[in-house]
Each structure stands twice: as C-alpha cells, then as structure tokens.
Amino acid sequence: MTEPDQLRLLAVHAHPDDESSKGAATMAKYVAEGVRVLVATCTGGERGSVLNPAMDRPEVWERMAEIRAAEMDRAREILGVEQEFLGFVDSGLPEGDPLPPLPEGCFALVPLEEAAAPLVELIRRFKPQVMTTYDERGGYPHPDHIKTHEISMYAFEAAADPDRYPDLGEPWQVSKVYYQMGFTLPRTKALHEAVLANGGESPYTEWLATWDPANDISHRVTTRVPCAEYFPVRDAALIAHATQIDPTGRWFSVPLDLQTQTWPTEDYELVRSVVDAPTPEDDLFAGVRTSERVS
C-alpha cells in the first residue's frame, strides 16, 4: 500500500462533514502536490441533525446514515482524498440541563483501548508521516470530537509500540501530529472586520459578542498553511454535505476574495514531532520530506 518516498497525510475526524470544515483546503493543496491524503471518519454521523432547511424532510431523517455516507463519498471525490469510516456510532450532541446521558454503545462511551484499535490498524497500514486531529477540548465541545482527540493521541503512541496491539500490523511511527486551529478569535475578528469594512453584514457578530477571550487558543498556533487557492474546493466539499450545510448560511456569507485577502491560511498547532521541524512553519511536512531528511 505504501511507496518509500510517498508523502502521506492522515486526517482524523469525528463525523462526515468535519473533514470539509476543518483543514479541507490544506488537504486539497497537498493532494494537488501529489501527497496521499486519507480521512479517517470515526462515526457515521447517524445522530446529526438536518441543518439545512431545504433538506429537512421526513424521508431524509429516515435515511440519515445512508444519506450521510453518500454525501461523504461526494465530498471525498471533490477533495481528491481517500476516506475510511472507523465504524463507531455517533454520540449525538447532548442538550439540556442537566445534560441527558449519552446513548448506549455510542463512540464517546467505547473504552479508549477498544476505541483506538481501528485507528492503530489504519496508521500501521497507511503509514502516514503526518496526522491531524482535534485539540484536547475537541475544538468544539461535542463528545465525539473530544473522543476523536483522545483516540488520536492514544493511537499515535500505540501504533509505534511493538508491544501494543501486536495483531494489528507492524509498528509505525507517525513523525508529526497537529491539532486543527481553524476557528481562532483573531481569524474570526479579522474576517468580521473585513466584511464590515466592505459594507457587508458579518455572520460573526453573535459569536464575537459571546466569545470569552480566555478561551482563545490562537497563541498555540505554530503552523500556517497557505491554501487560499483551494478555498473554492473546500466550499464545494462542504456543500456536498447537503444535510449539514445550508448553502445560504453563515459558512458562505464571507466572499472568497475577502477571505483570501484577510486570512489565506489554515492554521495548526504542532503537538508531537520526532523530526527536526522548527516552528513557526508553513508546511505540515517540514522536516519529513525525503530531500530534507538527515540519514
């Protein structure tokens, strides 16, 4: 499955559509450069709501799992990536006070060692040099996103250890692990101000009003990948997730040229590295490209 000089990127995500809203332009850019990119989707998104009014119909709700798999196929084709489901069941986003218990058998409730096993197998089979995942807060407080973070960090260690999961393939050491840092306060503010300066209506007014600066994690960003050329590909992939994305909604209300001028990168935090990769950097593969390797 792997060639010696081939660069490989593994992006771990919780639900179908997360790959298109977090780091999608980065993936499209690396695909265009000849990198193999594989999206691992932990759950089928079975408990997602229908967030697009045009798709809010009983026949859609009844076939949610099937429809979301078909949407994922389309997004995968648009992004040019490979994609595999890890086979867990969506935990849903619990709402209410007190929060209701999580549904039995859902991803968030699977014990860590068992939940990480399919990802360990995938890492050993695909042999990525670089892996992306979410930060310790999930980037967004959905139990599946937090669980995605947990299994990613666990599998990163375990995949390299010959004593763990000995039946799941030969050990593989991922060289670099990143957290997605797409939704930072400075980026949101910059886009907000750019829209207002252009006489438009900002989709971020409400967000910014309730955003506690103490929750901003932008100081952790180590890596900015220039990828504005691929923002249209990102948007097309997002629209493919028709149940989840309203094409007339907030995602698409900031004109692309304004986004390109204001914030032309997707941003990451480098959290693990076994190669020499000084930060700040602008390439997820800095330090792992064969020509730069010290033998």
Please give the annotated binding residues for Zn(2+), written as ranges: 15, 18, 145
- 18 CB-near residues (< 8 Å, 6+ apart): 41, 145
Question: Residues interacting with Zn ion, by CB under 5 A?
Answer: 14-15, 18
Residues contributing to the annotated binding site? 15, 18, 145
> Shortest approach of Zn ion to residue 94 CB, angstroms?
14
Q: Which two tokens stand for residue 101?
A: 């218990």
CA 129 to each of CA 126, 170, 278: distance values in angstroms, whole numbers, following the listed order: 9, 15, 16
CA–CA dist 284, 221 (Å, integer): 13
Rama region for 189: left / alpha / beta (φ>0; ψ in -120 to 50; rest): alpha
> Shortest approach of Zn ion to residue 173 CB, angstroms?
28
- 216 CB-near residues (< 8 Å, 6+ apart): 184, 185, 186
CA–CA dist 276, 278 (Å, integer): 6
User: Measured at CB, which residue is nearest to Zn ion?
Assistant: 15
Closer CB to Zn ion, 192 or 241, in the complex: 241
Q: What's the sign of the alpha-carbon dihedral 22, 50, 116, 217?
A: positive
Q: Which residue in the block uniquely carries the two structure tokens 């959905």? A: 142
Q: Which residues pair with 179 in a beta bridge?
A: 133, 269
Closer CB to Zn ion, 14 or 174, in the complex: 14
> Shortest approach of Zn ion to residue 142 CB, angstroms?
6
Rama region for 169: left / alpha / beta (φ>0; ψ in -120 to 50; rest): left
Closer CB to Zn ion, 144 or 267, in the complex: 144
Closer CB to Zn ion, 153 or 158, in the complex: 153
Closer CB to Zn ion, 14 or 240, in the complex: 14
> Shortest approach of Zn ion to residue 89 CB, angstroms?
14
> Shortest approach of Zn ion to residue 246 CB, angstroms?
16
Closer CB to Zn ion, 8 or 15, in the complex: 15
Q: Which two tokens stand for residue 96?
A: 């209410």
> Shortest approach of Zn ion to residue 14 CB, angstroms?
4
Closest to 35 (Cα-Cα) out of 7, 74, 70: 7
